[in-house]
Amino acid sequence: MKQFNGFPARMEFTPVPNVFINRLVPQIRDIVELKVTLHLFSVIYRKRGSPRFAAYRELLGDAGFMSGLKEEGKSPEEVLRRGLDMAVDRSTILRMILSKDGISEEVYFLNTESDRRSLARIQSGELTIAGLKAPGKAAGTGVEETPNIFTLYEQNIGMLTPMIAEELREAEEQYPGEWIEDAIREAVSLNKRNWRYIVRILERWTTDGRKEDTQRGAGKTDPDKFIKGKYGHMVRR
């Protein structure tokens, strides 16, 4: 076995949900299913926009990944197919067959609430991604969904580390998504590209109200709505 030289001082990270580590990993007995699922996390995480997905052909075309899928008497493609089927059967990932110009394309999504909604919109023909649509459905607007807060952070603030990803998820539970998106944009406009500054914007809006809301007659936001959340100890009334 070739010895690993160790992790470098600076490197990128791929967020992996705690529920996958704590609940699903103990149930997975096949190394192929584990390899394929972890690789899908990595591929989908690196994508931009929303919804994010991985196409079968891009998995098949990843020489480094495919070289690690080995089973006696089976080709790497057969091993990949088996790993994908197991992950789909476990419902860790969702598979959809779409078409573009009459050619079928097999794509995979993580089984998240937002992706389930996106798949329903694709199936109904309301949403088209990268020119792909459900077979037999007329294409809708052809416009992708608005980038989520994770994508906005990556595109405008910096690398999304596991710690920042967790902070964003928890903030999403405490504040309206529109607030977080607007706070990111305000921080960028002021060249304050860091998460702490974004949090301070959200705190200010919680206690003082947003200018836009006041102009619409909404008045100040009740701090009690957020006081019990993770950032509640930072809210001063």
Q: Count CB atoms within 10 A of the CB of residue 149.
A: 19
Distance CA(6)–CA(127), nearest Å, equals 44
Instruction: Spell out where 40-135 has E strands.
Output: 54-55, 93-100, 103-110
For residue 227, pLDDT over 70 is answered with: no
pLDDT of res. 132 = 72
Radius of gyration of the chain (CA): 21
Question: Residue 184 is which amino acid?
Answer: I
pLDDT at site 141: 41
Q: Which residues contact 134 (CB under 8 A, 6 or more apart)?
A: 96, 98, 99, 122, 123, 124, 125
Name the DSSP letter for residue 213.
H
- List every span in the chain annotated with CATH 1.10.10.10: 18-124
Using alpha carbons, list the distances in angstroms from residue 158 to 110, 148, 165, 195. Answer: 23, 15, 12, 10
68: number of Cβ within 10 Å: 13
Q: Are 107 and 55 contacting, i.e. CB atoms less than 8 angstroms apart?
A: yes
Q: Which position has the higher pLDDT, 66 or 148?
A: 66
Q: What is the pLDDT of residue 213?
A: 52
CA-wise closest residue to 140 among 125, 123, 160: 125
The pLDDT tens digits of the residues spanning 157-215 come to 887 777 787 788 788 878 888 888 899 999 999 999 999 999 999 999 988 887 655 44
pLDDT of 217 reads 44
pLDDT for position 234: 44
Overall average pLDDT of the 16-41 stretch: 95
Q: Is 60 exposed, middle or buried (0-12, 13-18, 19+ CB in 10 A)?
A: middle
pTM recorded for the entire structure: 0.58
* CATH number given to 18-124: 1.10.10.10
> 21-25, 170-174, 231-235: lowest mean pLDDT where?
231-235
Q: Domain 149-234, CATH 1.10.10 — does that match?
A: yes
List pLDDT tens digits, range 108-165: 999 998 889 888 888 888 877 766 777 765 544 444 444 567 777 878 888 777 778 7
**pLDDT given at position 13:** 84
pLDDT in tens, 81-116: 999 999 999 999 999 998 877 788 899 999 998 889
